[in-house]
Each structure stands twice: as structure tokens, then as C-alpha cells.
Amino acid sequence: AQSVTQPDIHITVSEGASLELRCNYSYGATPYLFWYVQSPGQGLQLLLKYFSGDTLVQGIKGFEAEFKRSQSSFNLRKPSVHWSDAAEYFCAVGDRGSTLGRLYFGRGTQLTVWP
Amino acid sequence: ETGVTQSPTHLIKTRGQQVTLRCSSQSGHNTVSWYQQALGQGPQFIFQYYREEENGRGNFPPRFSGLQFPNYSSELNVNALELDDSALYLCASSRASGASYEQYFGPGTRLTVT
């Protein structure tokens, strides 16, 4: 079965600092890969996705993620964090071999940004 | 284009009661998925509806059931509520069935079971 691990439950960074959120997955092949962000009282917003092709994908709000097949990882990065980036971030995978659009989520990483 | 909406925003129920949560799909979307997000956890897939039929189900008991209507809106029904059902319930709509991962999430319904 697919599983997603986000090893960092909570990360704190200063505004303007760089950010990397880790995500590892367990899957028999290369799944579809996603990062979502959830602000308090809000639903999930898609930041970026990887289906195939270039392993470095660009998303909204200045985020990017790199797929590394050898490490089964899909880490999210941002070169300079803004206070408005404080939120919870979820990594998710989708089963490439399934006709069902089911997503498997990690437990999330809470990001705090210090001014 | 109207986004995904859910109602109610919050509700409190007593153990053993039944609850119905509602979701309106984004315009043009014909598939709805429901997820349960317990406190401190990532969302867990409950089931998906396409063309008014259940298209797939996660590891949830039969007391979790759903409906999809001709206008593609959807309901999630939970019978015999248990304390562990307390969670944020999210619905997501997408444009097509199959491996449609372009899912747009609503803001969720926060259910508290006492």
C-alpha cells in the first residue's frame, strides 16, 4: 500500500530564510506527487504537482519541488519565506495505476514564520 | 467560476446520532471525493462518487455512506456516530472520473461528536 512520510511535524523559520519541507513515499512505481497547503479554516490548496518529465517542478506562491526517484522523495522548497506562508503543508501521492483519483496524504508539516 | 462549497461549517452531535454533510461541486465538475481529516493527521480518503454512483471506497465502515445528485452535488451521511468520528470532513471535486487528480477542495465541515 502507498504511504507518505513527512518526518517534520513542525518547522520554524525566520521571514526571508529559505525553506525545505521533506516528503518520502512508499510506492511500487513512480506515483503522481502533490503538495497542498492548508491555512486555518481553509480547505486544501494545490501548490504544485508532478506527473512526469522535468523532476524540478514550479508551483504557485514561489514554491518548487524536486522529485528524486532514487530517494523516493519529493521535497518542497522556497528560497525566501514570507510571513503569509505560515500554514500546514501536506504531501500527497496518487496511484498512477488506478482509475480512481484517490490521494494518500502525509500527516502534514506545520510551518511557523518568525518576523 | 464558483468554487467548492460545503455546509454546514461546524456542527456538534451526540454519540449514536446521525449526521448529513453537504458539498457543492465546482462548476463543470462531475466527480466528488470525500476525505476525513482527524486532528493532527492528513486527510484520509472515504469514497468517491461519479455520475451518482460510488466509484471507490477507502477503509471506512458502511455507516459512512454518500449520495451524488444530478447536479453533481453530494452528501456524506454518517450513522451511529462515534467519538472518533470527530474530524474535519473535506470534499473535493474534479472534472472527470478515472485518475482525475486535479481535485479542488472545499473549506470543510468541522464535526464534533460528544
Query: What was the pLDDT predicted at B57?
Result: 92
Is 80 exceeded by the pLDDT of residue B97? no
Number of helical H runs and strand E runs in chain A: 0, 12
Contacts of B55 in chain A (CB under 8 A): 100
Chain-chain contact of A92 with B42 (C-beta, under 8 angstroms): yes
Find the mean pLDDT for residues B76-80: 98
Q: Please confirm whether the linkage preceding B8 is cis (ω < 30° from 0).
A: yes
Q: Distance from A4 to chain B by nearest Cα, in Å?
A: 10
Chain-chain contact of B98 with A101 (C-beta, under 8 angstroms): yes
Phi-psi sector, A53: left (phi>0), alpha (psi -120 to 50), beta: left
Beta-carbon-side half-sphere exposure of residue B50 (alpha carbons within 13 Å): 15
Contacts of B12 (CB under 8 A, 6+ apart): B111, B112, B113, B114
How many C-beta atoms lie closer than 10 Å to residue A37's C-beta?
21
- In CATH, what number is assigned to the domain containing residue A88? 2.60.40.10
Confidence of residue B98 (pLDDT cuts 50, 70, 90): low
The parent domain of residue A9 ranges over 3-114
Number of domains in chain A: 1
* CA A115, A34, B105, A61 torsion-angle sign: positive
Query: What was the pLDDT predicted at A110?
Result: 97
Find the mean pLDDT for residues B95-110: 79
Q: How far is CA B79 from CA A49, B40, B99, in A?
A: 36, 24, 29
Contacts of A94 in chain B (CB under 8 A): 99, 101
Chain-chain contact of A100 with B105 (C-beta, under 8 angstroms): no
Residue whose cell numbers read 458539498: B23
Per-residue pLDDT tens digits for B23-66? 999 888 888 999 999 999 999 999 999 888 998 899 999 999 99
Give the span between the Cα atoms of A23 and A44, in whole angstroms: 17
Give the span between the Cα atoms of B9 and B106, in whole angstroms: 11
Q: Residue A88: in which H helix or E strand, if any? A: strand A87-94
Residue pair B112/B17 in contact by the 8 Å Cβ criterion? no
Contacts of A95 in chain B (CB under 8 A): 99
Query: What was the pLDDT predicted at B26?
Result: 86
Contacts of A29 in chain B (CB under 8 A): none
Q: What number of residues does chain B have?
A: 114
Residue pair B27/B37 in contact by the 8 Å Cβ criterion? no
Confidence of residue B103 (pLDDT cuts 50, 70, 90): confident
Contacts of A96 in chain B (CB under 8 A): 99
Cβ-Cβ contacts under 8 Å between A and B: the total is 70
Q: Distance from A108 to chain B by nearest Cα, in Å?
A: 6
* pLDDT per residue rounded down to tens, chain A (115 residues): 789 999 999 999 999 999 999 999 998 777 899 999 999 878 899 999 998 899 999 999 999 999 999 999 999 999 999 999 999 999 999 887 777 778 999 999 999 999 8
Cα A19 from chain centre: 12
A 10-69 residues inside an 8 A Cβ radius of B: 32, 34, 36, 41-46, 49
Chain-chain contact of A43 with B99 (C-beta, under 8 angstroms): no
Chain-chain contact of B44 with A100 (C-beta, under 8 angstroms): no
Give the span between the Cα atoms of A85 and A91, in whole angstroms: 16
Query: What was the pLDDT predicted at A37?
Result: 97
Give the span between the Cα atoms of A27 and A74, in whole angstroms: 13
Chain-chain contact of A4 with B42 (C-beta, under 8 angstroms): yes
> Can you read off the three cell numbers belonging to residue B81?
456516530
Query: What was the pLDDT predicted at B96?
Result: 67
Q: Is A104 on the interface with B (CB under 8 A)?
A: yes
Contacts of B92 in chain A (CB under 8 A): 44
